Amino acid sequence: MNETVIKTNKLTKRFGDFVAVDEISFEVYKGEIFGFLGANGAGKTTAMRLLCGLSIPTSGEATVAGFDVFKQPEEIKKNIGYMSQKFSLYEDLSVKENIEFYGGIYGLSTKEIKAKSTELIDTLGLHNEADKLVSSLPLGWKQKLSFSVAVVHTPKIVFLDEPTGGVDPSMRRQFWDLIYNAADRGITIFVTTHYLDEAEYCNRVSIMVDGKIEALDSPAGLRKTYEATNMDEVFYKLARKAKRSE
Of 206, 208, 215, 237, nearest in space to 19 by CA: 208
Q: Which residues bind other proteins (CB under 8 A)?
A: 52-56, 74, 77-78, 80, 82, 84-91, 102, 105-107
- Bridge-based pairing of strands 59-64 and 67-68 is antiparallel
Q: Which residue's CB is nearer to other proteins, number 3 or number 91?
A: 91
- Other CB atoms within 10 Å distance of the CB of residue 224: 12
Q: Give min distance, CB of 50 to other proteins, in A.
A: 11
Q: Give min distance, CB of 127 to other proteins, in A.
A: 25
Q: Which residue's CB is nearer to other proteins, number 154 or number 218?
A: 154
Q: Which residue's CB is nearer to other proteins, number 165 or number 217?
A: 165
Cα dihedral 87, 18, 213, 64 sign: positive
Cα dihedral 86, 124, 172, 80 sign: negative
Q: Give min distance, CB of 236 to other proteins, in A.
A: 31
Q: Which residue's CB is nearer to other proteins, number 134 or number 234?
A: 134
Cα(197)–Cα(105) distance, rounded to whole angstroms? 34
Q: Give min distance, CB of 219 to other proteins, in A.
A: 28
